[in-house]
Amino acid sequence: MQQLCIAPFLTLLVLASPAAAQSYPTKPVRIVMPYSAGSNPDTVARVIARKLADSLGNPVVVENRPAGSAGIAGNQAVLAAPADGYTLLLGATGSMAIAPSLYKLPYDTTKDFDAITLLAYVPNVLVVNSALPVRNVKELIALAKSQPDKVDYASSASGSISHLSGELFNWRAGVKLRHIPYKGSPAALNALLSGEVALMYSPVPLALPQIKTGRLRALGVTTAKRSSILPQVPTIAEAGLEGYQATQWYALFARAGTPKEIVTRIGGEVRGILGIPEIRASLASQGSDPVTTTPEELAALLKAEIAQWAPVVKASGARAD
């Protein structure tokens, strides 16, 4: 008798999913942001949220839950909500791909979240204090080899993408730059400008004004392609360290189990938004290179990035703050 009672109920659930997706959304949608207001990922999320609200016909709000580079508080907020597409996550390299190697997380970033679409690649730029006697990546490598463990580099935090970009450089180049963590990228940049450290891997928008004034010298960007707002600066791989790539990316996720039809709807809307020339130009001017993927492509990227960063974290001995 129990089986006869349960079967019709399960059938109704299966049939209800497409219907729910067709009526989605019937209330505001929120994008949980594990970073502070005004940060680069926050800017990307808010640009998308405004346009997504128009296309969905319902408000889309960005909710900031900053709590360190691991993004644990924000990720858990999404996992605590129903898997109905009304609570989304802005995930990034640090919170989704690096954190699993640094922390004992209370969730699995590859299993507990449904990938929707990549949003943007954000190059960091390797900048040195203009007083440092190096003009390019090869000269920096030569200097580091002649002075092991004496050339300091700043980062926004231990275990951050700016920290591990330096550790990847050490690993690839066979050198030992010494890591000095600070509390955030602005503090790290101030240390670089004052001469406390020799170099850092900075978000492009943060370093750009100082590059233009000549106080900082840009040696290379960390991504596989050149930055759209620093097209004259080569990639680090082009500049002499073959195979180097340390990509900061932002992507949209939902809690695992969200109806596929809703994931498809959101992904389609966001890909359309990022195809608008004005939106692309706006994000590019702030240092973000818009790019989209299918859910399957984003899921594959996440797994590949976790595999890439795990040995770098291990080799560096990096520990979370």
User: Within a domain: residue 175?
Assistant: yes
Same domain? For 211 and 73 the reply is no
Identify the pLDDT of residue 21.
60
Beta strands in 113-259 (DSSP E): 113-122, 124-129, 152-155, 178-181, 199-203, 216-221, 248-255
In the predicted model, what is the mean pLDDT of the chain? 90
User: Within a domain: residue 235?
Assistant: no
Is pLDDT above 70 for 12? no
User: Within a domain: residue 240?
Assistant: no
Same domain? For 204 and 132 the reply is yes
Same domain? For 252 and 152 the reply is no
- Phi first, then psi, for residue 107 (nearest 5°) are -160, 170
- Give the pLDDT confidence of 124-133 residue by residue, as tens digits: 999 999 999 9
User: Within a domain: residue 297?
Assistant: yes
Identify the pLDDT of residue 6.
42
The CATH number assigned to the domain holding 114 equals 3.40.190.150
Identify the pLDDT of residue 265.
97
- Give the pLDDT confidence of 215-259 residue by residue, as tens digits: 999 999 999 999 888 999 999 999 999 999 998 999 999 999 999
Same domain? For 74 and 43 the reply is yes
Is pLDDT above 90 for 175? yes
Identify the pLDDT of residue 287.
83
- Give the pLDDT confidence of 134-165 residue by residue, as tens digits: 999 999 999 999 999 999 999 988 888 899 99
Same domain? For 52 and 115 the reply is yes
Same domain? For 138 and 111 the reply is no
Same domain? For 147 and 216 the reply is yes
- Give the pLDDT confidence of 27-50 residue by residue, as tens digits: 999 999 988 888 888 889 999 999
Same domain? For 58 and 142 the reply is no
Range from 10-24, 114-128, 156-170, 299-313 carrying the lowest mean pLDDT: 10-24
Same domain? For 118 and 128 the reply is no
User: Within a domain: residue 243?
Assistant: no
Q: Which residue has better confidence, 19 or 66?
A: 66
- Phi first, then psi, for residue 61 (nearest 5°) are -110, 145
Same domain? For 208 and 144 the reply is yes
Rounded distance, CA 24 to CA 118, Å? 22
User: Within a domain: residue 20?
Assistant: yes
Is pLDDT above 80 for 197? yes
Identify the band that residue 321 occupies on the pLDDT scale cut at 50, 70 and 90.
low
Beta strands in the chain (DSSP E): 29-33, 60-64, 87-92, 113-122, 124-129, 152-155, 178-181, 199-203, 216-221, 248-255, 289-290
Contacts within 8 Å (CB) and 24+ apart, 79-84: 79/107, 79/112, 79/113, 79/255, 81/255, 82/255, 83/254, 83/255, 83/256, 83/257, 83/258, 83/259, 84/20, 84/258, 84/259, 84/262
The CATH number assigned to the domain holding 193 equals 3.40.190.10
Identify the pLDDT of residue 158.
83
Identify the pLDDT of residue 36.
81
Identify the pLDDT of residue 156.
86
What is the domain range of residue 68? 2-122+248-316
- Give the pLDDT confidence of 252-292 residue by residue, as tens digits: 999 999 999 999 999 999 999 999 999 999 998 888 889 99
User: Within a domain: residue 303?
Assistant: yes
Same domain? For 128 and 210 the reply is yes
Domain count, the chain: 2
Same domain? For 27 and 55 the reply is yes
User: Within a domain: residue 71?
Assistant: yes
